[in-house]
Amino acid sequence: MKRLTLAATTAALFAAGAVTTAQAQQAFYPQPYIGGDAMFWEVNPDNGSSRDSVGLRLNGGMQFNDYFAVEAHLGGGGSDGAAELDSLIGAYGKGILPISQEFRLYGLAGFTEVDFDIDRESGFSYGAGAEFDVAPNLALGADYMRYLDESNYTFDAASVGVRYRF
């Protein structure tokens, strides 16, 4: 009987610890976040050679649950000699697919305005990416966005950076 009581007590303590650990790792929503990225952009005209450069991008948003967030991008910088990216500003809905507690895939869709020194355009944007938590509130991420798909050119960017959740 003493062994059964000891086993039951041990099991109860283990279960309580597991519940406490699971509760400690749950996110509380809504959860704001902010991040910074190196943005490797490319303008690909229908006629002529593509132009590319590297700029910086800030992003931030509000995650409402494990599966949905809204996000904004603000970027700029980089010049290839023919075109200079003065600014990029956009707002997106973010669908999230949690693969594990630390790893997520996501898709973005929304609207972007891009201002080059020679042109300003706006339109529908979409992309996909992934994030991996390296600490409780810190994640590394990468994504690829099609910011503009105009009749005579496309503007895409691949970004790699860090996100902090509050």
The token duo for 51 is: 């132009």
Could you read off the pLDDT tens digit of each residue along the chain, which spans 166 residues? 444 444 444 445 454 444 444 444 567 889 999 999 999 999 988 888 888 899 999 999 999 999 999 999 999 998 877 778 999 999 999 999 999 999 999 999 999 999 988 889 999 999 999 999 999 999 999 999 999 999 888 999 999 999 999 9
Q: What local confidence, expressed as pLDDT, does residue 24 receive?
A: 47
Is 129 domain-assigned?
yes
Is 84 domain-assigned?
yes
pTM: 0.80
Which of these, 51, 29, 50, 37, lies nearest to 127 by C-alpha position?
Answer: 37
- Count how many domains the chain has: 1
Q: What local confidence, expressed as pLDDT, does residue 83 receive?
A: 78
**In Å, what is the CA distance from 67 to each residue of 30, 100, 138?**
12, 13, 18
Residue 156 structural domain: 28-165
Is 12 domain-assigned?
no
Is 38 domain-assigned?
yes
Q: What local confidence, expressed as pLDDT, does residue 25 receive?
A: 56
